Structure 1
């Protein structure tokens, strides 16, 4: 009997989900899933790529057994997709809110730049992962990231179509304009990730330059004749 008790205690030390009195099963499951995501992000600090991570080291860092991993993800690629979704989870709604409210265009540009870069700065680990995997990750993860960016561009294009000054733009041209604006923000985010959070002067320049670039894009768009862009 003593042996059975000792084995049970040993199993609990290696267990995948510590049970807390009154804690529901769904809450434990979400906590374990979160631990796996956080463990992967922790291991990705520095120059490591997602493809270099092993399931065993992720579960070890998260404090769960390798077998328990499959209760949450079908494999490492599934974990990578979850990290991408997690990175963009709240961003779409935040950006939409920044563009609402009937504010002047200059205020909307500033609000959009500030909202995105503040979010990226508060979630550096997520966006470092996105920046690395966007070009050097597996084809499946690269495609997933592109899908999120296309979704973001599409949402922005719809919002831009509501501005009277852009009402004459074709749907294709609105997509191009939205793409230019999104890629300005992506470039600014990559600069932000390489800048220490304590370097306030450098961060201020990144925000300022991104806002200026966005304004220049809008000023150029104001001179564009969408009817002439149609080909064939």
Structure 2
């Protein structure tokens, strides 16, 4: 019985998250109400607080879930980095953009709220992106060509890569859906990443 209650609670919690992702597909998070979310999940508004302390708490949870998807995509894109040397820009972008298409609503939420009006959500995205850059910097440190780099320089390079990736995601989501436009977007992002990789290959930390 206890197990079924726990399962029911988890199902309701997930329903609240799913409803919110649907609502923010074409609206900002700050524009939706607790009452709307509760109604969509099939519960009364007061029951919302059994699952989240506030709408801001729910928003931060959405950020964590969406960033988990993004982190998985980027982790796949840089898999075996240490063994292969510098990542291939085209392969990394292809993996990322495939993930964007399969989880479009979560990525749209991240892109829209990265500079949105709800402070807690915006800060959570900033924190998660910084953590993502640090993870990438650790992977870069395992690359033979970068083994002598200082941690600060690796984090700067990682920030550039993550920024290019996030910009590509935003442009893809805002695009017109045409294959030619997507190819142009990917080619531009690939060129930017290649420039970063080439610059990293020439960089001297004491230069």
- Fold match, TM over 0.5? yes
Checking the alignment, whether the CA contact within 8 Å between 2:110 and 2:125 is kept in structure 1 is yes
Corresponding residue SS for 2:43: coil
Give yes or no for the alignment of 1:162 onto 2:142. Answer: yes
Contact 1:84 1:145 in 2 (8 A): yes
1:105 counterpart = 2:86: yes
Task: Give the aligned partner of residue 129 of structure 1.
Answer: 109
1:74-223 matched pairs, under 5 angstroms: 74-101=53-80, 102-107=83-88, 109-197=89-177, 199-223=178-202
- Residue among 60, 71, 79 paired with 2:39: 60
Q: Deviations over 1:204-232 (max 9, x none)?
A: 3222322221111111122211113xxxx
1:40 aligned to 20, 24, 28, which one? 20
Instruction: Determine which of 52, 57, 66 is the counterpart of 1:73.
Output: 52
TM-score where L is the length of structure 2: 0.90
Report the CA distance shift for 1:121/1:196 in structure 2 as closer, same or farther (over 3 A): farther
Deviation track 1:30-82 (CA, whole Å, cap 9, x = no partner) reads 22112111211222232x22111110011112222112211110110011001
SS of alignment partner, residue 105 of structure 1: coil
Which structure is richer in relative contact order (CA contacts within 8 A, separation 6 or more)?
2
Report the RMSD for the aligned CA atoms in angstroms. 2.0
CA distance in 1, matches of 2:54, 2:72: 29
Q: Which runs of 4+ in 1 moved over 3 A?
A: none
Q: Which runs of 5+ in 2 are unaligned?
A: none
Larger helix fraction of residues: 2
Is the Cα–Cα contact under 8 Å of residues 128 and 193 in structure 1 kept in the other structure? Answer: yes
1:61-111, Cα deviation, whole Å (9 max, x unpaired): 22221122111101100110011011012332442233222235353x333
| Distance in 2, Cα, partners of 1:78 & 1:68 | 15
Q: What residue ranges of structure 1 are gaps of 5+ in the alignment?
A: 1-22
Q: Distance in 2 between matches of 1:124 and 1:98?
A: 18
Q: How many residue pairs get matched?
A: 204
SS in 1 for 2:114: helix
